Amino acid sequence: MTAGNNGADTPENDDPFAYLYRSEGGEGGAPGSAGTGAPTRQPGIPRTSYNQVRAVGERQYGQQPQQPTTYGQQNAHYAAPETLPGGDRTRSVPAPDGPEPRRNRNGLLIGAVAVVAVVCIGIGVAMLNNGKESKAGEAGKQGPTAGDSVKPNGKKTGRTKPGELPKEEAGSLRLDGGAAVAKDVPGARSANGTYVAGMNTPGAAATWTLNVDQAGKYKLWVGYGVPGKDATLTMAVNDKPDSRPVNMENFAHAPEGAWDKGWTKTWSYVQLNKGSNTIKLSCETGNQCDVNLDKVWLVKP
């Protein structure tokens, strides 16, 4: 040691960082330090100003002082990962723990049933409309059915319900040889009061085309009117004349010349085929043809 030192370190040699050189256990330190790592000084020598008294834990050497933090502020040195170059900006949200919330299954089921019901109703309406259109088209194309009377031009003149036998007004039959529709004599039993007149001319004829479901024998009824005297006509079924004339007597007992009092009816047997048939009433040689016709119809014997 030099003179004036007296074994004490000068303030310049009193190292405040001597604790950084201490070894574990508190021994060792900087040159000139004691075993405790603190600088050695003689009693009576005051400490320099750097060694000030502070509260325990208030400040330590080598550490940055803590800045006061205000609520709601973030660390200025923190940067979110998505703000960094190349960082992922999409944050994944972890699935919540526990089972998935139950859905309203009843609502879904009701909705599905409602949709199916609407679809079924739409299909049913479409099928119904298509069926009606199809039937209407077929009705316009189909030919005569059983019980229909048809004129030579193919026009229907009558229609019967299923199971009924055909009937027709005489004015709707095919007329030839001078026969014609008239309405002068009252009392005819047709719907509009018409009848067939002019049958007293040789060759005059009224032909009925009809259909039946079954072949066999039928009764042909003829409505007619005579002027207080008997009459006869020739009948041909499917172009085959019958040898017996149709008897048209004055069953109403009308006085002679009283056409309006002589309306009555008669019948004859006819053999018909299944399907379409023709029945012709005509004025031929040997007949007494002074007669009017108002109706014709079939009846089972």
What does the pLDDT look like over 81-135, one tens digit per residue?
A: 555 555 545 455 455 555 555 556 677 778 888 888 888 888 887 777 766 665 5
Is pLDDT at 300 greater than 70 in this prediction?
yes
pLDDT in tens, 130-150: 666 655 555 444 444 334 444
Question: What is the separation of C-alpha 265 from the centre of its chain, rounded to a whole number of angstroms?
Answer: 58
**What is the per-residue pLDDT for 46?**
55
What average pLDDT does range 271-280 have in this prediction? 97
Q: Is residue 260 pLDDT above 80, yes or no?
A: yes
**pLDDT tens digit string along 146-204?**
344 444 444 444 455 666 899 999 999 999 999 999 999 999 999 889 999 999 999 99
pLDDT at 273: 97
Average confidence score pLDDT of the chain: 74
How many other CB atoms sit within 10 Å of the CB of residue 281? Answer: 28
Between 251 and 44, name the one with better pLDDT: 251
Q: According to the 3-state scheme, what is the secondary structure of the chain?
A: CCCCCCCCCCHHHCCCCHHHHCCCCCCCCCCCECCCCCECCCCCCCCCCCCCCCCCCCCCCCCCCCCCCCCCCCCCCCCCHHHCCCCCCCCCCCCCCCCCCCCCHHHHHHHHHHHHHHHHHHHHHHHHHHHHHHHHHHHHHCCCCCCCEECCCCCEEECCCCCCCCEEEHHHCEEECCCEEECCCCCCCCCCCCEEECCCCCCCEEEEEEEECCCEEEEEEEEEECCCCCEEEEEEECCEECCCCEEECCCCCCCCCCHHHCEEEEEEEEEECCEEEEEEEECCCCCCCCCEEEEEEEECC
Residue 223 has pLDDT above 90, yes or no: yes
**Residue 59 and residue 80: Cα distance in Å, rounded?**
31
13-22, 37-46, 195-204, 249-258: segment of lowest average pLDDT: 37-46
CA distance 261 to 164: 30
The pLDDT value recorded for residue 116 is 83
- The model's pLDDT over 225-248, given as tens digits with 9 standing for 90+, comes to 999 999 999 999 999 999 999 999
Percent of the chain clearing pLDDT 70 (strictly above): 54
With a cut of 50, say whether residue 250 has pLDDT above it.
yes
Q: Is 59 exposed, middle or buried (0-12, 13-18, 19+ CB in 10 A)?
A: exposed
Cβ 19 vs Cβ 27: under 8 Å: no
Residues 262-274: what's their mean pLDDT? 96
Q: What gap in Å lies between CA 45 and CA 148, rounded to an integer?
A: 150
The pTM for the full model equals: 0.49
The residue with tokens 């005051």 is 46
The predicted model gives 193-218 an average pLDDT of: 96
CB 165 within 8 A of CB 299: yes
Specify the pLDDT at position 158.
47
